[in-house]
């Protein structure tokens, strides 16, 4: 439930839902995609760049300013640059949490969860599962980087060029998501297509090396998916999406796609377990 905050000295707090206008400036100049009107944001949702929502906490109604530094992995022309955002806060709403009872559990309509105690258990297990999965993926990516660094991998130029083209398309989609065309982006950044592709070259090479390494492991280990594992995965998805298994199989997730996901998980587990105790040490 949301309730509009009223009064002369109301301030933005974590969890509030805020409606505001904003405009971003770098070195005193506006930059494309850096503004919005009547934008609605839940503070703490992490939908904005790191630091943006935190900087809004404590601001009141009307005009204010915040400073945010773009992350390194952002678009090349904004990477690690400090931006000044002018805000015009129009509305601040607080969010009232529902009562912690069985009715809340039922309202969420999670398959297999009918009581608040079951909901607590489900949320705890989901958080632990996601955290474990994230740690594994980070560790395995580091393992793959080390293997690639210490290996001699032959990558045909045509393959790298194709992967650069794929990454360019992905980059173009990110630019468009900022309500900007590539033509506008290149004019703003002063970069040409060739400049952009040069910057994407190392990422393309790293992605291909990762493909080669993981493909070799898959071929050597010959991971297999049992019917029991496949069914369990479908049941897991069904609980997450709040639907039934047969509907997922028929209309949403083909068996081949789910099997591929399971094989990827087995690959990650294999590399995680076979590379010493350092992974377990990092978790402690």
For β-strands 82-95 and 62-69, DSSP reports them as antiparallel
pLDDT at 76: 77
Rounded Cα gap, residues 12 and 146, in angstroms: 45
Closest to 48 (Cα-Cα) out of 77, 28, 27, 24: 24
Nearest to 5 by CA among 67, 45, 52, 59: 59
Domain count, the chain: 2
Owning domain of residue 238: 107-283
Domain boundary (95, 129, 158) is at 95
Contact 211, 240 (CB under 8 A): no
For residue 250, the tally of other CB atoms under 10 A from its CB is 10
Total-model pTM: 0.56
* DSSP-derived pairing of the beta strands 2-4 and 82-95: antiparallel
Q: Are residues 174 and 219 in the same domain?
A: yes
Same domain, 249 and 113: yes
CATH code, 252? 1.10.3120
CA distance 155 to 215: 14
pLDDT 10s digit of each residue in the chain, 284 long? 677 888 888 999 999 999 999 999 999 998 877 888 899 999 999 889 999 999 999 999 999 999 999 998 887 788 899 999 999 999 999 987 788 899 988 888 887 889 999 999 999 999 998 998 898 999 999 999 999 989 888 899 999 999 999 999 999 998 888 778 888 888 878 889 999 999 999 999 999 999 999 999 999 999 999 999 999 999 988 888 878 889 999 999 999 999 999 999 999 999 999 886 544 444 44
Model pLDDT, residue 279: 45
């Amino acid at each position: 439930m949301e309730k509009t905050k009223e009064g002369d000295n109301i301030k933005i707090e974590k969890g509030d839902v805020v409606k505001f206008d904003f405009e971003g400036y770098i070195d005193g100049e506006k930059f494309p995609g850096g503004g919005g009107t009547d934008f609605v944001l839940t503070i703490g949702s992490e939908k904005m760049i790191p630091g943006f929502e935190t900087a809004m906490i404590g601001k009141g109604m009307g005009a204010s300013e915040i400073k945010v530094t773009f992350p390194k992995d952002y678009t090349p022309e904004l990477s690690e640059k400090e931006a000044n955002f002018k805000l015009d806060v129009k509305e601040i709403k607080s969010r009232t949490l529902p009562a912690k009872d069985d009715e809340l559990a039922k309202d969420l309509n999670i398959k297999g969860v009918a009581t608040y105690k079951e909901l607590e258990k489900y949320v705890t297990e989901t958080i632990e599962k996601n955290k474990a999965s994230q740690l594994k993926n980070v560790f395995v990516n580091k393992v793959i980087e080390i293997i690639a660094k210490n290996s001699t991998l032959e990558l045909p130029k045509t393959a790298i060029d194709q992967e650069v083209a794929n990454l360019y398309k992905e980059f173009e989609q990110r630019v468009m998501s900022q309500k900007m065309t590539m033509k506008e982006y290149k004019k703003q950044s002063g970069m040409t297509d060739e400049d952009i592709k040069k910057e994407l070259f190392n990422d393309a090479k790293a992605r291909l090396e990762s493909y080669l390494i993981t493909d070799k492991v898959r071929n050597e280990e010959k991971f297999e998916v049992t019917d029991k594992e496949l069914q369990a995965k479908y049941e897991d998805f069904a609980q997450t999406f709040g639907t039934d298994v047969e509907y997922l199989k028929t209309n949403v997730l083909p068996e081949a796609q789910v099997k591929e996901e399971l094989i990827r998980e087995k690959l990650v587990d294999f590399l995680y377990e076979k590379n010493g105790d350092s992974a377990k040490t990092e978790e402690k």
